[in-house]
Amino acid sequence: MDAGLLLLADSRLPAGAHAHSGGLEPAASAGAVTDVAGLTGFLRGRLATTGLVTAALAAAACAGGSGGWVRLDREADARTPSPAQRQASRAQGRSLLRAVRTAWPNAGLEALSAVAEAGPHHPIVLGATTAVAGGGPGEAAAIAAYGAVTGPASAAVRLLGLDPLAVHRALAGLAPHIDAVAVRAAGYATGDPADLPAASAPLLDLYAELHLHADLRLFES
């Protein structure tokens, strides 16, 4: 993976990812995640569900070009039953699009803003940008799968005061699983969008709805 693509995976990209915990904050508030062991289980579950779906959508958006973005955005909507989750995905999509249009000026990226009135879903933007930056579906899937766990892991350090070294040890242990999910997701890149994975995580959906109406929260989602 070249340096340009690494920028897309870098949490320092000013795309607003730091404002989203990927469901970790409500899980922590509910007492479901309190330590590194609990975080590891949370990340495994997120990777196998939301991570797989997001990575497959990103791979398909990377491979399909602008002609398929509207269809893929609708498929993303269908795989995101929680209104709060859809809102968060589109918010992250708008933020990422704003950042990448500056970093990688490209006529194709300009068309992304018209994919949906509320803005495109995050994995669609990620996949399209990966293609513009010279990457393929495999790289798009890998970046998406990686972000599915590193975002919540970073949030856990801030929310729970966990040892950052211990958290990164847990992430290192998950690396083979991240790679496996990315490879599986990339396999859907050129197929019928209707056949994209639709792994569900009902508890994450419930957490998202509760979090949206929480009186006090550090993260947007």
Give 144-159 pLDDT, tens digit per residue. Answer: 999 999 999 999 999 9
Residue 165 lies in a domain: yes
Residue 28 lies in a domain: no
| Total number of domains constituting the chain | 1
Q: What is the CATH number of the domain that holds 56?
A: 1.10.4190
Give 15-74 pLDDT, tens digit per residue. Answer: 888 888 999 999 999 999 999 999 999 999 999 999 999 999 999 999 986 668 999 999
pLDDT of residue 67: 66
Give 113-152 pLDDT, tens digit per residue. Answer: 878 887 899 999 999 999 988 999 999 999 999 999 999 9
Residue 219 lies in a domain: no
Is the pLDDT score of 97 beyond 70?
Answer: yes
Q: CB atoms < 10 A from the CB of 106, how many?
A: 16
Q: CB atoms < 10 A from the CB of 189, how many?
A: 22
Encode burial over 152-167: b for 16+ CB neighbours within 10 A, e otherwise: bbbbbeebbebeeeeb
Residue 4 lies in a domain: no
pLDDT of residue 66: 62
Residue 211, judged by CB atoms within 10 A of its CB (0-12, 13-18, 19+), counts as buried
Residue 142 lies in a domain: yes
Q: Where is pLDDT greater, at 52 or 5? A: 52
Alpha-carbon gap, residue 140 to 128, rounded angstroms? 9
* CB contact at 8 A, 58 and 123: yes
- Domain hosting residue 96, numbered range: 34-212
Alpha-carbon gap, residue 210 to 122, rounded angstroms? 21
Opening angle at CA 176, ends 26 and 5, nearest 5:
80
Give 169-189 pLDDT, tens digit per residue. Answer: 999 999 999 999 999 999 999
Alpha-carbon gap, residue 60 to 72, rounded angstroms? 8
Residue 113 lies in a domain: yes
Residue 19 lies in a domain: no
Residue 151 lies in a domain: yes
